Amino acid sequence: MRKKIVAGNWKMNLAVNEGEKLVKSILDRLPKLKENRQVVIAPPFTHLIQTYYQTESIAYLNLGAQNCYSEASGAYTGEVSAAMLSSVGVNYVILGHSERREYFNETNAMLTKKVNRALENNLEVIFCCGEPLEIRTNDTQNEYVSKQIQEGIFQLTAEQFKSISIAYEPIWAIGTGRTATTEQAQLMHAHIRSVIADKYGVDTANKVSILYGGSCKPNNAAELFACADVDGGLIGGAALKADEFLAIINAMMHS
């Protein structure tokens, strides 16, 4: 059975002491999860060590980062390498989030390098894809997302591909309160799985966790996670509130 994952992406929110409090409130009520159910908390870089100390003893609670640099080390002022993340206990990294693509001009070619660096350092990658509104309006979202995946991660071997999860996040649904319908999510997730099957075979495709992201909240999580090809969620806004994040974890636990 493939892994179900709920990952909280805090983005650029909360001071370290606020993050510490949030993690504490999550830990106070975090249910015990089976091995194939995982939670990831991805705070800003400055919070990673603190969050590591708070969460290290819980096997199904993973520490994630929101980005890493495409080179291994050197004169890249202000950047953080995959090896550095690994050295503070990070085991997941989110790459290719639409905000990184849009505001920081991350291209598929750059993401290929980032993914390679992450895998060299034994990080699991949550690779994000998703189309803007005009692409959805033109009904060309399948081609758009296929290209992101093919250009971003199809350099990997089948063995390396085992360290990849995908997050499908339609840009028009991120932070807008507008969620994809379960039908839209399921259709795209099935499409992504078929693109992976064409390249790596059905067996590999069936093992890849494909998360949904974009206004995933306690009131729609259970319905989304009930879709055959939706294996959890990448959560933004609702990951900043312990009650909401826990409710989404509960929905994943029972899916």
Specify whether 97 is catalytic: yes
Question: Among 188, 212, 67, which Cα is nearest to 136's?
Answer: 188
Of positions 216, 242, 249, 251, contacts ligand PGA by CB under 6 A? 216
**Which residue's CB is nearer to ligand PGA, number 96 or number 236?**
236
Q: Whole-number minimum distance, CB 194 to ligand PGA, in Å?
A: 24
Each residue 157-176 as x (binds ligand PGA by CB under 6 A) or -, in order, gives ------------x----xx-
Q: Whole-number minimum distance, CB 233 to ligand PGA, in Å?
A: 8
Residue nearest to ligand PGA (CB): 236
Q: Confirm if 11 and 45 have CB atoms less than 8 A apart.
A: no
**Which residue's CB is nearer to ligand PGA, number 118 or number 129?**
129
**Which residue's CB is nearer to ligand PGA, number 44 or number 214?**
214
Q: Whole-number minimum distance, CB 245 to ligand PGA, in Å?
A: 11
**Which residue's CB is nearer to ligand PGA, number 125 or number 200?**
125
Question: Among 182, 134, 165, 119, which Cα is nearest to 7's?
Answer: 165
Which residue out of 47, 169, 191, 244 is catalytically annotated? 169
Interatomic CA distance for residues 40 and 5, integer angstroms: 7
Of positions 145, 185, 235, 249, contacts ligand PGA by CB under 6 A? 235
Interatomic CA distance for residues 193 and 159, integer angstroms: 17
- Record the tokens describing residue 195, joined without a space: 């693109």
Site size for ligand PGA, by CB under 6 A?
Answer: 13
Specify whether 191 is catalytic: no
Output helix, strand, coil percentages for the chain, rounded to the nearest 5: 50, 15, 35
Of positions 237, 244, 248, 249, contacts ligand PGA by CB under 6 A? 237
Residue 230 touching ligand PGA (CB under 6 A): no
Alpha-carbon Rg for the chain in angstroms = 17
The torsion angles phi and psi of 183, rounded to 5 degrees, stand at -65, -45
**Which residue's CB is nearer to ligand PGA, number 148 or number 215?**
215
Q: Confirm if 162 and 207 have CB atoms less than 8 A apart.
A: yes
CA distance readout (Å), 46 to 19, 119, 195: 10, 22, 37
Q: Confirm if 128 and 94 have CB atoms less than 8 A apart.
A: yes
Residues forming contacts to ligand PGA in the complex (CB under 6 A) are: 9, 169, 174-175, 213-216, 234-238
